[in-house]
Amino acid sequence: MHSIRQEELGPNPSNQVISSQTVSSAVYDEDSQSNGSIRQQMDASMQESRDSAKQDLTGVTMKVLAEERCSELVKEIVSKDKSLVDILKPLPVRTSAISLMKSLFHVDISVLEKCRNRELKKDCRVNVEGMSKSHSKTKLLLQRMSDESLNEITAKKMELMSNIISQLEELFAQRESLLSEINDNASHGTNMEAIVKEVCKSNEYERYMMFIGDLEKVVSLLFCLTTRLARVENALSRTDENTDADEMQSLKERHSLLSRQREDAKDLKDNLDRREQVVTGILAKYLSKAQLEDYKHYVRLNTYFLIEQKDLEEKIKFHEEQLESLHNSIPP
């Protein structure tokens, strides 16, 4: 009888067990290493999130404290220098003016902000040449007077000026960020225009272009009238029995005129809304569902950016006026 070799009968069961144990051990070690690596990555990610949250919280806290200090300084300064009351006291109707603009154009800010990253880079630098002359002059004044002996009210004015400069630098940085986003959206608009021109009839394309152009004009007009009306209402709120009669009459006439003009502008806005519906109906015939949503998103962002840009410019102008008034109130 021929001897049968072990290889022909199959692998030795004991060897098979040993082999399985070896493989299992290797797999276990590999899984352990993999799990350890994943765990390390998760820990690092969680730590990074915690650090970021701490930084955000610290930033918010510092901003709140700075705003509180500014309010204290304003109260102390205007109690000693009544000439600065009008410029240092915040405009009570300004916020309502911005709210009115956003409600008129039905801008869904909560949705839009999810699509945008307005975080400023920590290494952001503001170009001094881009600031106003009064801003630069004030910086030189602060440097020159930093070592001099100041009376109490002048020292408080200088501190407030320094705080306003910090606010302006932040606003300038926000404007740079916003302009970048506006440029990105403008590129999106250029692509959309090319698509509309390609698929639509010439008269339909012209309707589209007129609507987009008039959108900017109506937003700018309404914003201008709303903020001017806010200033007049603010001035009227400060009048009393000692106010000059001619000045009072002038304010009332300006308020009446601006109110009528804003109502007329609202009619333009209603007309613009109807035209938007017509344009959307036209595009719905030619564009895919995704393209139509892109168009709507572009229009919403365009409107939102226009309002945000005007709002930022107003804030910058207001703080620069504060800075210049404080600067001029300090004796040479």
- Among 63, 68, 78, smallest CA distance to 157 is for 78
The answer to pTM > 0.75 is no
Least confident range from 57-61, 235-239, 314-318: namely 57-61
**Residue 24 placed within a domain:** no
Neighbours of 276 (CB within 10 A): 16
SS (H, E, C) the chain: CCCCCHHHHCCCHHHHHHHHHHHHHHHHHHHHHHHHHHHHHHHHHHHHHHHHHHHHHHHHHHHHHHHHHHHHHHHHHHHHCHHHHHHHCCCCCHHHHHHHHHHHCCCCHHHHHHCCCCCCCCCCCCCHHHCCHHHHHHHHHHHHHCCCCCCHHHHHHHHHHHHHHHHHHHHHHHHHHHHHHHHHHHHHHHHHHHHHHHHCCHHHHHHHHHHHHHHHHHHHHHHHHHHHHHHHHHHHHCCCCCCCHHHHHHHHHHHHHHHHHHHHHHHHHHHHHHHHHHHHHHHHHHCCHHHHHHHHHHHHHHHHHHHHHHHHHHHHHHHHHHHHHHHHHCCC
How far is residue 69's CA from residue 283's CA, in Å, rounded to a whole number? 53
pLDDT(17) > 70: no
Is residue 102 domain-resident?
no
Structural domains of the chain, count: 1
Q: Does residue 290 carry a pLDDT above 90?
A: yes
Average pLDDT over residues 88-102: 65
Contacts of 231 (CB under 8 A, 6+ apart): 91
Choose among 312, 314, 306, 304: nearest CA to 228: 314
Q: Letter for the amino acid at 203? A: N
Domain presence at residue 13: no
The domain of 154 spans: 64-94+126-329
Residue 303 belongs to a domain: yes
> Sorting pLDDT into bands at 50, 70 and 90, what band is 87?
confident
Residue 285 pLDDT greater than 90, yes or no = yes
pLDDT for 255 beyond 70: yes
Task: Give the tokens for residue 328.
Answer: 């001029």
Lowest mean pLDDT among 31-40, 115-124, 179-188: 115-124
Q: Is residue 103 part of a domain?
A: no
The pLDDT value given to residue 256: 94
User: 139-145: which pairs have CB atoms within 8 A and are 24 or more residues apart?
Assistant: 139/165, 141/327, 141/330
Q: With respect to residue 182, please indicate whether it lies within any of the assigned structural domains.
A: yes
Give 254's contacts (C-beta < 8 A, 6+ positions apart).
232
Q: Is the pLDDT confidence value at 329 over 80?
A: yes
* pLDDT of residue 118 exceeding 60: no
| Residue 105: inside a domain | no
* Nearest to 191, CA basis, from 40, 79, 301, 294: 294
In a domain, 6, yes or no: no
Quick check: 287 pLDDT over 90? Answer: yes
